[in-house]
Amino acid sequence: MARELVLYCDESDSSGKHFANFYGGALVESLHLAEVSARLAARKQALNLLGEVKWQKITEPYAQKYMDLATEIFDLVREGKIKLRIMFTQNYYSAYRLTTEQRENGFFLLYTSSSNTPSD
């Protein structure tokens, strides 16, 4: 049977003074997908986090809930069931001469080109 990988990704175009274009990716092997989905859904339910979990939505009363969910995610990473990658661009460098397609697919191009590094 062929190995199948599922990539969940999100990006933020927010720019800070030094960094911008924050990207996150979670890679799950299909072998673990049902367990990962079930564990995260159950943890969110137990914590009463019923909507989309976003750091922008965090409030003081929910801070511990977010940390508890993050602990579950890092437990899955430790068990080898999720691989995470967080990337960003440094504002010192700016992209130029990119096609519209390259700009629209920036996250996927960045993720796939950086996934071929020896550290993986």
pLDDT in tens, 35-62: 999 999 999 999 999 888 887 888 999 9
Number of domains the chain is built from: 1
Whether residue 120 lies inside any domain: the answer is no
Tell which wins on pLDDT, 26 or 119.
26
Whether residue 58 lies inside any domain: the answer is yes
Whether residue 32 lies inside any domain: the answer is yes
Whether residue 90 lies inside any domain: the answer is yes
For residue 56, what is the DSSP state?
Answer: G
Residue 115: predicted pLDDT: 54
Whether residue 119 lies inside any domain: the answer is no
- Which domain covers residue 41, as residue numbers? 5-114
The predicted model scores a pTM of: 0.72
Q: Quickly list H helices, the chain.
A: 30-46, 63-78, 100-104, 106-114
